[in-house]
Structure 1
């Protein structure tokens, strides 16, 4: 259980109430998220962001729940009201004294005089439903709880300035309440599980909200929320009162009472801890296991794909790359698969993910991403497909599942054939040296993909170092699998391609002046000597393409210039384009995204490479993860951010919870625990 105590916090510490966040997910890509204080500061904040079938996608359905304790004399003790906590000068009046994660369920404890109130929030797994429960732990018996729902139905990426619907309507039927916008969205259904429930309808009030985080990021920051009125309910001592908000059908909502929902979700999470690798069950690892669970999803919008998978005896599964805004990305899924599913004992889901993506292969490529609310993927990536080979290798190593391997061999051979003869986006093997080249005008095909308008921030067209490391690794893996399955002749041909690529790589990529590798050769501006972390993959992968004599030098350069307590810088501070912070509007952030900004996930390849140079120093490698353990109490509490500023204090930025950040730290925790 993670606990943050605000009882003795000074003004600086209490600012965390506005800046640190929490996240709860539902296994569909939907979520609930907000600041610790309850203030709405970001377009993505909401108590119910439902994952709806295409073309809607993820949609903010319940933006806020203003909660307050109501005394008999009419006084209100506001817990998370928009007006009372949205500005920093009001933080001292916030009665929040403690925030906890109990098995990753957020718990708020409020104290004011003799009154002690506890609030819990969870989402039912595989349902678009949130349960918000309140329990009076101490206080007078005649207290009531006041809850005011506020809404602005909109796509979760839409500007907060998007006009409110003009036709919001509240419908009542017994204890059922529905808010309907009479637009394309389903109604928001509300059910208050309590005795003595009253509802005060005030004609539909509108509240103006300043989204401070959006303002800092250069986006529209003034929006409005609509509320039909408020609930008032008796709150007996130690008797939970729960509001359920959902876009599901009533029969689904009423089939799961709050007590059962809480008990079953707790048991599900306890089981996740039981089946995880033993090294992932202690406090740090256990927190990562529960964080990892938030990214493995059933993509509810792809109905036909799910039906096909079930017809084959499988289930459709994918990986959300990051919260709040990323969808499922091929590259992120394959890099994350070992940490999210194999280190956690979820091998069946790993198989489903691999087989799902195999069905999406087109022209030798797996999708780069699935756009929000769409069923068809986009394929502009040169590395995601090569990471697919690596993910399958790790899966087979853990499970010995040769049946899945054999089923995927035709797909793997087709992928390699397409790369050898050339496929989309200029991805092809150069017949002159056997190296893999990529690039086409208007596209960024590597993971360093920032592009602002026509400005390519990190131009990497040509032969990128990690692309060729991955290509060599894929060739060696497929050749080995083919030999094991009795296909000696095609295996030998692939071996020849691999040998030629390795020979050319070691001739072309070694930069003697910097004692490390070029980032790109034969690029638009020639060979790029920028010192970046991409060169580590030439050592870290199971089949390293770089000659062993150069390993120590490359690792030393990366350790000296790129390593931080929370990952690796994306560019050496000595480079003229280095940016120390990831702040400002979209253009400023993209200019820094891969130009120094620290990426947490890169600690994985660094530790892999470092251990190949220092195989007896696993304890030292384990200490490289200490910064992430501390980070779990900051940012999105209980998870790991996407990126960090490149200089102390290494402020967390970007997505508040990132799949490959969590996955690679968890994988390395398991790796460094083994003798």
Structure 2
């Protein structure tokens, strides 16, 4: 894997150290997460974040373990880091960090206090909501180490305040149980019990959300580090509280060994491939230890079928996890209703609200069978896949239907945003894209051809599917090219002066990246077109991926910043989306264009934001600062896929 480490100039600088985040997943949808410098900058940061019934319904438990070292002289040195609502940062333990490393995906900190050197390692026990934190004396000593446990128990999307109920902490052997939900265990436990008021999360302030919370100082662990090699370790776990996990050092060793096995199984071609293979592993989870699923992004997303299916080839096929992928595809097929795939349960209920998620599912099944030769799965799912086509031809939810006049797929309903550009501001879609979106019809044509192939592999007649494919392809080639020199983004859209369903229609020629799928998909409707692709690249391409809208558009939003309304308003109006590098690279390769330099920026990004991973979004203007989730499934998956495809 790529060598990710930082020295004192990054670790000791508050801005640099707090803008780089690490993630250690538990394989269930929970995680430990924080920054290089140890400062919690998000409400989502914590050492034990526990998944609920769905990956998105997480609870923050153990907030931090703040080390304090007592030197032989009697001096006490605090190594933690907190920012307060007053604006103070205290303590400032990051200023004593001489090194931070990400080793096999696990973070390691190294503090130097004169001749005393202490390292901290952190790992989660794979498949269990359990974190281990190991402190080791590397040089100097003897010293005494105390670890102050700051705790809470709250929804990861919110905060807890001192004016509410006091957390219930019950003393047990070697530690305590907090709120009956998770247990702390380590040496020399001494209960305390007081609120730390006004802990500030600077990233939440930037996002326009409430930035402050109060946390409960439950108590402290303590132990002696007399000679190099001595350790003081703490474990925290949820779930089966009476089932004690392995020793902390064993947890670290187990996690490290598993991560190496994940990378080796993927057979990476180089160190970037290896890093991406491990990054991909973070998103493949088994909530509750049950069926396999995909977390769309950390720290706030759960499972979304569109994201899952776009990510499928990169997460499962490129990492040689086809057996798990097969399980996932079968489970998702069972959610089909009226020809539509369930999109998400993050909102607390199962929703069917995408026009493209189901079409990406057709693509994922087709790619699975093509890459693996698993025709048995194709045969098994074929009846369900045929219902998708039948329902779209007949018409299904939200006005999704095939237009018999041209064979293209149309969609739209009042208040609905059904494509991947689905942001809303105060309930109103920013980019409703009502009509015939270009990528939806590229996916429809691709899906028809993929399903026709599966039908023929099953020994059945696919003539009707090929007929529909030919009609839609001909219409696509005739109608989507625009006088501007690229493709229309939406055909037959309601004219701006008319409400949905009004009398006038128009074709939207805004320069957006959605058209890339018209050249990138396996059964793309268009032949390679280098002049058009170069125009698209000139208007949209950045080092971290294509913009969602060209900068010369009146609606262009340069920076993905501000409160929820501002951010959602700019989400698809110029913000960069790294996942779109996948379609761009595929299209460019089909057009015999060089893409050698197209991935340099995104590969360098692996050490800039979410360490070893790829962000959800970035600003549309230089320096294209990363935004959104630091760890995003489809961003990682598409980068991994196109790198593998080009090797």
TM-score for the superposition, normalised by structure 1: 0.90
List runs of 5+ in structure 2 lacking aligned partners. 496-505
CA distance in 1, matches of 2:331, 2:621: 40
Matched, 1:424 2:402: no
Q: Is residue 479–residue 494 contact of structure 1 (8 Å, CA) maintained in 2?
A: yes
Once the two structures are TM-superposed, the CA of residue 92 in structure 1 deviates from its matched residue by 8.8
List runs of 5+ in structure 1 lacking aligned partners. 181-185, 307-315
Once the two structures are TM-superposed, the CA of residue 189 in structure 1 deviates from its matched residue by 0.1
Distance of aligned partners of 1:340 and 1:87 in 2 relative to their CA distance in 1, 3 Å threshold: farther
Q: Secondary structure at the match of 1:94?
A: helix
CA distance in 1, matches of 2:408, 2:636: 32
CA distance in 1, matches of 2:272, 2:644: 11
Q: Secondary structure at the match of 1:632?
A: helix
Residue in structure 2 matched with residue 183 of structure 1 by the alignment: none
Matched, 1:534 2:514: yes
Residue in structure 1 matched with residue 485 of structure 2 by the alignment: 515
Matched, 1:400 2:400: no
CA distance in 2, matches of 1:609, 1:82: 47
Indicate which of 585, 592, 611 corresponds to 2:589.
611
Once the two structures are TM-superposed, the CA of residue 569 in structure 1 deviates from its matched residue by 0.6
Q: Secondary structure at the match of 1:407?
A: helix
Q: Is residue 285–residue 294 contact of structure 2 (8 Å, CA) maintained in 1?
A: yes
Matched, 1:299 2:290: no
Distance of aligned partners of 1:554 and 1:69 in 2 relative to their CA distance in 1, 3 Å threshold: same
Distance of aligned partners of 1:93 and 1:637 in 2 relative to their CA distance in 1, 3 Å threshold: closer
What is the count of residue pairs matched by the alignment? 634
Matched, 1:189 2:183: yes
Residue in structure 2 matched with residue 359 of structure 1 by the alignment: 334
CA distance in 2, matches of 1:429, 1:333: 25
Residue in structure 2 matched with residue 209 of structure 1 by the alignment: 199
Distance of aligned partners of 1:261 and 1:15 in 2 relative to their CA distance in 1, 3 Å threshold: same
Residue in structure 1 matched with residue 263 of structure 2 by the alignment: 273
Matched, 1:245 2:236: yes
Residue in structure 2 matched with residue 602 of structure 1 by the alignment: 580
Deviations 1:42-82 (A, max 9, x none): 11111111012369921111122222212245422222232
Deviations 1:298-326 (A, max 9, x none): 122xx9xx4xxxxxxxxx11110101111
CA distance in 2, matches of 1:95, 1:218: 31
After TM superposition, the structure 1 = structure 2 runs for residues 76-225 of structure 1, keeping only pairs within 5 Å, are: 76-82=76-82, 87=88, 94-141=95-142, 143-158=143-158, 160=159, 165-180=164-179, 186-192=180-186, 197-225=187-215
Q: Is residue 78–residue 84 contact of structure 1 (8 Å, CA) maintained in 2?
A: no
Residue in structure 2 matched with residue 345 of structure 1 by the alignment: 320
Deviations 1:363-390 (A, max 9, x none): 1111221216x4x521100001100111
Q: Is residue 641–residue 657 contact of structure 1 (8 Å, CA) maintained in 2?
A: yes
Indicate which of 531, 537, 540 corresponds to 1:562.
540
Matched, 1:551 2:551: no
Q: Is residue 118–residue 136 contact of structure 1 (8 Å, CA) maintained in 2?
A: yes
Once the two structures are TM-superposed, the CA of residue 169 in structure 1 deviates from its matched residue by 2.8
Q: Is residue 268–residue 274 contact of structure 2 (8 Å, CA) maintained in 1?
A: no
Indicate which of 538, 550, 554 corresponds to 1:572.
550
CA distance in 2, matches of 1:189, 1:24: 19
Q: Is residue 66–residue 82 contact of structure 1 (8 Å, CA) maintained in 2?
A: no
Q: Secondary structure at the match of 2:188?
A: strand
Which deviates more from structure 2 when the two are superposed, residues 200-209 or residues 130-139? 200-209
Deviations 1:178-225 (A, max 9, x none): 122xxxxx4220111xxxx32333343433211211111111112100
Distance of aligned partners of 1:277 and 1:623 in 2 relative to their CA distance in 1, 3 Å threshold: farther
Q: Is residue 28–residue 298 contact of structure 1 (8 Å, CA) maintained in 2?
A: yes
Once the two structures are TM-superposed, the CA of residue 162 in structure 1 deviates from its matched residue by 5.0
Q: Is residue 297–residue 629 contact of structure 2 (8 Å, CA) maintained in 1?
A: yes
CA distance in 2, matches of 1:613, 1:133: 52
Matched, 1:623 2:597: yes
CA distance in 2, matches of 1:133, 1:10: 20
